[in-house]
A and B are shown apart, each in its own frame.
Chain A
Amino acid sequence: MLVNRKLILAHFWLAFAVFGIALTLGAWQMFIRSPIGTWLSNPELYYRSLTAHGTVMGYVFPTLVAMGFGYAISEAALQQRLVGVRWAWAGFWLIVAGSVMAVIPIALGRASVLYTFYPPLIGNVFYYLGVVLVVVGSWIWVALMSVNLRVWRKAHPGAPVPLAMFANVAGSYLWAWTAVGAALELLLQIIPVAAGLKSTIDAGLARVLFSWTLHAIVYFWLMPTYIAYYTIVPRAIGGRVYSDSMARISFILFLVVAMPIGMHHTFADPQVGAGFKFIHSAFTALVALPTLLTVFTICASVEIAARLRGGRGLFGWIRALPWDNPMMLALAFSFVMLGFGGAGGLINMSYQLDASIHNTQWITGHFHLIFGGAIVIMYFAIAYDLWPHLTGRELIDLRLIRTQLWLWFVGMIVTTFPWHWVGILGMPRRMAYFDFGDPAIAPQALSVTFSAIGGFILLASGILFIVILARGMRAPRADAGPYQFALAVHQPTTVPVALNTHGLWVALMIALTLTNYGYPILTLALSEGTSVPAVYVGAQ
């Protein structure tokens, strides 16, 4: 039951429109700093573009996808009209306003500080205010997800919350809490300086606060993808979820351990104690657990589908899978990229291995493979799956969809594998220009060229994606029937309170944040003489 289809479509369309723009900028950046591009003589334009690319891809695009998908899940899984539709629109328009407000100073070159802010570099205040508005808009969504679940619970006392909604609300809570770190950094540190009320800022504290957001935000991006793994893929390929409770445990684990691990981004920082670095490193290892559980459950669920389709043998069932089904294809690609990206993540997780690749192009390769690859390809799949239900029209050309997914997969591999490699060679990140004519870095030129070609493959795939969706808006009408989520092999009739509510896990998430972040933040905030003069970018 999807009633507020306009609302959901608005979120998706805005998400994919800004994604298209940021993707174009990304491909341009890959090209312009590669040996095949002719340098445009102004590094500032590169950093401007990089700021826009990061801000859109990090804050706006995935947030809108999570929101649109979240509203769809709330209506379809709970079989209940969305409560608070006006608030939802208010949140949407806040995001529009925030994005516009942030993009104008970026476009004018007044906020080329990259999406990670990097104080004491300070840009135009409206850039930061815009980002704050985007976050506030998304918090409305968080509140609405909670309210809608509460309304449903009242009507269905004691009934198991549908898995999709359980996971969706877990994702929203994770986002609400993880955004607090950057919000504190922006509101208490950066905005007062950008507005001219203060002239010094503690750069070390800012980095710690940002790390609070920076890692768990990745799991917020990941949530729609994991929800699709568990609740869409098995249905789309004619199988069942292997285990409902294992799925709940995975999402719960994300909620608890995605948060108190962000300091692995500050392994090389001088302002964080070694003891806390170790604790965060250990907890980072734990976050692999929900992913390993998911890999198992989804592989088992896919096997069920294959065997239901007549697959036989130890591995023979793989051939029986519906490979012409875009969802199957997207899942397989996503898993391959998740595997490689996850292996890379294990390297980033340990202080010792991270030291060889910290802040090199390896890191950029890594998160593009995980986020741009494993996660975003499932965003595509979600859109393809929902589109007929949202538009009331059929997506006819499956071949085109498969081509798009193939292009994205190939493009991502071609882009990110050489990217990882030059990182191992020690190529630093975020540089507008490399002098490949110099013999010391000439050997990296070929890899960088491949990455740039991969960037164009990705751009082609992105354009194709938008074309497919746009054509879907004008296709012949067809009734797609009610939107349904996958059922478990053993659909639960009762679920223990702990696995049916979020309270305990939210409490643990907050408690672990306090233990793992409380002391480092307080000690830096209270120590004298660690604030340094702001440096305003763009000579403003």
Chain B
Amino acid sequence: MSTSELFTFRNRHFSLAVGITAAILIVTAIAGFLVLPFAQPWVQFANVWDAICSAAGVPQRAPKVTVPEQSTRLSEVVLTSSTLARPSQEGIGRGATLAQRCAICHGPTGVSRADSPNLAGQYAAVIYKQLLDFRSGARTNAVMSPFAVNLTDQEIADLSHYYAYLPRLPAYHPTPQLPKPSIVIYGAPMRGIAPCGSCHGSLDNKIGSPWLEGQSEAYMKAQLQAFASGERRNDISQQMRNIARAMTPQEIDQAASYYASQPPDVVKAVD
């Protein structure tokens, strides 16, 4: 009872097992790589070799297509989880110096007394992306755009790191905390709206999405309306327009006033 008795074609079990397995493999391979590709008249292959390679799954780059011109300038920022992943102390320091000119609207501690966004403790990728978009013109604002146009890539990164580094402070909008409205808890699945928190920080953070707690109600409402109408379109591949368009005006009001009334301590950290 040794392997030499087993692994030889003299052993009936061996020859049968190997033979049947090989036969099934060959038959299915011929069917899968040759017969079926050519049995599909709606697919064109250059030659037999192309058919076999395609059936085997050799990765190919997508063919070039001509695409219509964009009617307006859109965001050209590439965001991944490693964008701005490693802040340096020097960068934060440089950012602090640069941020002095932002203080007039965004507050000396990064918390705005006007209806500008609070930036203290905001995710770095958010500030980074919006500054780049203001600079490129993908997002425009009469006050903000002139500040952004002259910033270098390094300055934008430094500012982002600086604001992300600041502690999250309660906002200057002293309203009583409101209960969570249905649109924030559940979203509206059948209209394609996920719960706000699944991107905006309280459940999870989708890279590039800001946390919203304590932001100005007027600001958030205006942005949601701008997304809904298509006036603002620097969200990559319509990720926010898809949501805002599906929201009712009441839901926009509810979401904006709810978030404005919240303290920033439920927001998850990103490191």
Q: Chain A residues in contact with chain B, CB under 8 A?
A: 39, 41-44, 157-158, 199, 256, 271-279, 282-283, 286, 431, 433-435, 438, 440-441, 496-501, 503-505, 507-508, 511-512, 515, 519-520, 523-524, 527, 530, 533-540
Contacts and interface: CB of A to CB of B under 8 A. Distances in A.
Interface stretch (B12-20, B136-144, B146-154, B234-242): B12-20
Contacts of B175: none
Contacts of B81: 199, 533-536
9 contacts: A273-B57, A276-B32, A276-B57, A500-B1, A503-B6, A523-B58, A538-B268, A539-B201, A540-B271
Contacts, number: 139
B270 interface: yes
Given A44-B203, A498-B13, A539-B201, A275 B56 contact: yes
B14 A527 contact: no
Contact of B1 (A157, A508, A515): A157
A273 B45 CA distance: 14
A158 B2 CA distance: 10
B37 A538 contact: no
Interface in B248-264: none
Contacts of B188: 435
B155 interface: no
A41 B3 CA distance: 62
A515 B1 CA distance: 29
Contacts of A279: 25, 28-29, 32
B9 interface: no
B190 interface: yes
B220 to A, nearest CB: 20
Given A278-B32, A435-B188, 13 more contacts: A41-B180, A41-B185, A271-B59, A273-B55, A274-B57, A275-B56, A276-B55, A498-B11, A520-B57, A523-B58, A524-B57, A535-B207, A540-B271
Interface of B: 1, 3, 5-7, 11, 13-14, 17-18, 21, 24-25, 28-29, 31-33, 36-37, 52, 54-59, 80-82, 85, 180, 185-186, 188-190, 195, 198, 201, 203-205, 207, 268-271
Contacts of B21: 256, 508, 511-512
Contact of B57 (A275, A433, A434, A508): A275
Contact of B203 (A43, A496, A504): A43
B252 to A, nearest CB: 19
B25 A498 contact: no
Given A435-B186, A497-B6, A274 B36 contact: yes
A435 B194 CA distance: 12
Nearest to A153: B1
A237 B92 CA distance: 77
B105 to A, nearest CB: 27
Contact of B268 (A157, A497, A511, A539): A539
A41 B37 CA distance: 49
Given A282-B24, A539-B204, A533 B82 contact: yes
Closest 10 CB pairs of A and B: A273-B57, A275-B55, A498-B13, A278-B32, A533-B80, A539-B268, A275-B32, A539-B205, A438-B190, A199-B82
A535 B206 CA distance: 8
B31 A273 contact: no
Most chain A beta-carbon contacts within 10 A, residue among B1, B14, B37, B54: B1
